[in-house]
């Protein structure tokens, strides 16, 4: 089935995504998740996306799956994705975010686990029950923690929204454009 295109948006191929210049990283990627799990999140959150991951190199994406790990760009081949960045971040700010992400990737596997209990808690929070243990991360928490290190406005927002969903991160970047911008989009039917 052909994807619906956003008029005026730049669509990139996987090869073009692999060739994004080093001085643009990290780039945050809001996607549809493409799985039954992702579909459930989108339905519960009434959103177009259910996953947030980070492009950290020419063929490297930091991805919070069962564990937080690096995956190749080819892993996004089946997901409709919006690439988001803030071109106003300095080289030093970008370096700080990347160092934070890579430090987390070096943790033992059991410290990089997905917060399954917290996800159930997020759903139960709608009826007043909170279960996020704070020991593990959702995909959007990993991204948000890195951004908060360099962006005082985002850090303030994160203080009010300590466990943002991918949708909430996306809405934040939309509401703060500029400086946040859509770098480009990827549609699986392009490959």
pLDDT at 112: 75
How far apart are the C-alpha atoms of 155 and 53, rounded to whole Å?
Answer: 19
Chain segment 97-115, per-residue pLDDT in tens: 999 999 999 989 887 776 5
pLDDT at 70 over 50: yes
pLDDT at 74: 94
Of 67, 52, 61, nearest in space to 26 by CA: 61
Angle at 141 between CA 46 and CA 82, to 5 degrees: 55
Q: What is the pTM of this model?
A: 0.82
CA distances to 9, 108, 124, 151 from 82, in Å? 10, 30, 28, 21
Angle at 179 between CA 175 and CA 182, to 5 degrees: 75
Would you say 163 and 132 are in contact if contact means Cβ atoms under 8 Å apart? yes
pLDDT at 1: 37
Averaged over 43-61, what is the pLDDT? Answer: 79
Q: Give me the residue spans of the domains in the chain.
A: 14-190
pLDDT at 129: 59
Averaged over 70-92, what is the pLDDT? Answer: 94
For 187, the 3-state DSSP assignment is: coil
For 116, the 3-state DSSP assignment is: helix
For 69, the 3-state DSSP assignment is: strand
pLDDT at 171: 92
Instruction: Name which CATH class applies to 14-190.
Output: alpha beta
Chain segment 2-42, per-residue pLDDT in tens: 456 667 789 999 999 999 999 999 999 998 766 555 555 55
For 71-91, letters b (16+ CB in 10 Å) and e give: eebeebeebbbbbbbbeebee
Mean pLDDT, the chain, whole residue set: 82
């Amino acid at each position: 089935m052909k994807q619906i295109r956003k008029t005026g948006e730049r669509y990139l191929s996987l090869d073009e995504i692999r060739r994004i210049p080093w001085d643009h990283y990290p780039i945050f990627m809001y996607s549809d998740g493409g799985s039954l799990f992702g579909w459930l999140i989108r339905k519960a959150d009434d959103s177009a996306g259910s996953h947030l991951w980070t492009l950290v190199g020419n063929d490297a994406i930091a991805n919070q799956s069962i564990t937080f790990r690096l995956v190749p760009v080819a892993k996004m081949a089946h997901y409709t994705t919006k690439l988001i960045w803030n071109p106003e971040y300095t080289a030093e700010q970008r370096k700080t975010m990347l160092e934070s992400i890579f430090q987390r990737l070096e943790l033992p596997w059991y410290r990089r686990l997905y917060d399954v209990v917290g996800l159930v808690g997020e759903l139960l929070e709608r009826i007043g029950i909170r279960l996020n243990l704070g020991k593990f991360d959702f995909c959007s928490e990993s991204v948000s923690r890195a951004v908060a290190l360099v962006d005082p406005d985002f850090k303030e927002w994160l203080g009010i929204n300590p466990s943002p969903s991918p949708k909430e991160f996306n809405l934040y970047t939309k509401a703060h454009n500029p400086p946040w911008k859509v770098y480009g989009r990827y549609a699986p039917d392009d490959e």
